[in-house]
Structure 1
Amino acid sequence: MDNFDWKQLINPEFYIAMELGGVSVGLYVVLFIVFAETGLFAGFFLPGDSLLFLAGIYSRELVENLILIESDFGNVALLATLVAISGIIGNTVGYWFGAKSGWYLYKKEDSFWFKKKYLEQSRVFFEKYGGKAIIIARFMPILRTFAPIIAGIVQMDKKRFVFYNILSSFLWAFSLIMAGHYLYGLFLTKFDIDLKSHIEVIILIIVAITTIPLVIKFLKGNKETPENKTEE
């Protein structure tokens, strides 16, 4: 830990390669982070999308200490399934919290771990897209943290929530993990490019893809505000 750098906390490789007593615990750390992003509603700063993409690249290393399946697809599918289950549990906890005491967040003061504006943005997003917001939010940082909480606050039908929760978790986990795993193989065999040597670039690309929609929405919101005030 002497060489620990706080910047490592936003580097997905740091979590994947984590060891405890000489034993790899990367898989369990990945599963916990997926859960924390929604279940603990404080994980919005964690590298969710890029973490899953890289988990796909390192799928064999992650699952081999748990159970190593001879089938390459089996290893990736197992990893994606475990991640999806963690996402389902996290969203369920978020929904439960929103239903039971979501009002507390609206009274809570801003801190490093919590920003009230994120909660409000998620509420507006949820009201616009309804149940589909659970699916869309899974692929968008910040929104996926608060979407299940908003669903609980507005008392979304439980059966409907469970359906979208399971669907979104499996779509998110399988699409990103499979993409990471098979793109790694494709680039290595077809172009002789080892994506493991370009992790920083991959992270930047994924962060850009997932945050650009939020930036555009924010800029549009700022442009519309003066006009609305003028009309009033």
Structure 2
Amino acid sequence: MDEVNAEAATAGLDWLSTAGPLLVWVIVLSFVFIECALIVGLFLPGDSLLFAAGVVLAQHDVEGQAWALSAVALATAIVGNQVGYYIGRQTGTRFVARRGGRVLNQQNLDRARAFLDHRGFLAIVAARWIPWIRTLAPLIAGAAGMNARRFLVATTVGAILWVPTLVLIGYYAAGLLSAIPWLGTILVWGAVAFLVLGTGYGVWRYRQDIRRPVDDEPEAAAT
């Protein structure tokens, strides 16, 4: 691991050492909650964030923290989806779709609703791996009146399969590449660049869509 740290420093990534794992925790937990609870999360790169977190923690050689972050981020994802579920139960999805929106549009909302209607419990589990459905699923489930306990079980199973998998793959992939410093450096650069650029692009896309007027087309009947 020392070889990867030395190579990272020479490549201009020594800021990772000064940033420290604490910053990784703050960013990951904040982003995971937002992506699972709020509409702006539609535009955040949640999958790449978790992978990048594992890669960055590998630079500090803190295996225990990688496992601990996996557990805490898992709980955060569950809580976030519960918040999204109750927002959907209280407000429905009528404020989500935007007229002419690239992502926040009635077509995507209907597609997500159809996915949940046809797959039910398994759709909530699988939604963890489908970026835009991951954020819409709790809202739609709440608006449709899905049984709260059933939703909690489904979203918990999904979180268990999603969060630790990506964080730990990132951590151990970076560790395995310590014998090939230049490849490890590329992995670090790629993970961080994708996270930063993906987040910036996502925020820009969100701002573009949210400025559009709400689509007043009646909601499709939830089953």
TM-score by length of 2: 0.68
Q: Unpaired runs of 5+ in structure 2?
A: 1-12, 199-223
The answer to whether the 8 Å contact 1:55/1:180 transfers is yes
Matched, 1:43 2:41: yes
Q: Residue 26 of structure 2 aligns to which amino acid in structure 1?
A: Y
Distance 1:107 1:26, change over 3 A: closer
Q: Distance in 2 between matches of 1:156 and 1:150?
A: 9
Matched, 1:142 2:132: yes
Q: Residue 75 of structure 1 aligns to which amino acid in structure 2?
A: Q
Q: How do residues 43-62 of structure 1 correspond to structure 2 at under 5 angstroms?
A: 43-59=41-57
Q: How do residues 104-119 of structure 1 correspond to structure 2 at under 5 angstroms?
A: 104-105=94-95, 109=99, 111=101, 114-119=104-109
Distance 1:132 1:200, change over 3 A: farther
Distance 1:24 1:112, change over 3 A: farther
Q: Distance in 1 between matches of 2:18 and 2:125?
A: 30
Q: Residue 92 of structure 2 aligns to which amino acid in structure 1?
A: G
Distance 1:164 1:121, change over 3 A: same
Q: Distance in 1 between matches of 2:38 and 2:17?
A: 23
The answer to whether the 8 Å contact 1:105/1:116 transfers is no
1:62-104 deviations in Å (ceiling 9; x for gaps): xx8xxxxxx9442111111121122111101111011111143
What is the count of residue pairs matched by the alignment? 180
Matching residue of 1:188: 178
Matching residue of 2:207: none
Q: How do residues 1-232 of structure 1 correspond to structure 2 at under 5 angstroms?
A: 25-59=23-57, 72-105=62-95, 109=99, 111=101, 114-189=104-179, 191-199=180-188, 203=194
Q: What root-mean-square deviation, in Å, do the aligned CA atoms of Structure 1 and Structure 2 show?
A: 3.3
1:142-168 deviations in Å (ceiling 9; x for gaps): 010101111111211111111111121
Q: After the TM superposition, which segments of 4 or more aligned residues of structure 1 sit over 4 Å from their partners?
A: 16-19, 106-113, 199-204
The answer to whether the 8 Å contact 2:92/2:142 transfers is yes
**SS where residue 39 of structure 2 aligns?**
coil
Q: Distance in 1 between matches of 2:126 and 2:89?
A: 21
Distance 1:42 1:18, change over 3 A: farther
Q: Distance in 2 between matches of 1:39 and 1:32?
A: 11
Distance 1:45 1:150, change over 3 A: same
1:113-150 deviations in Å (ceiling 9; x for gaps): 83333221210111121111111110111010101111
TM-score by length of 1: 0.66
**SS where residue 155 of structure 1 aligns?**
coil
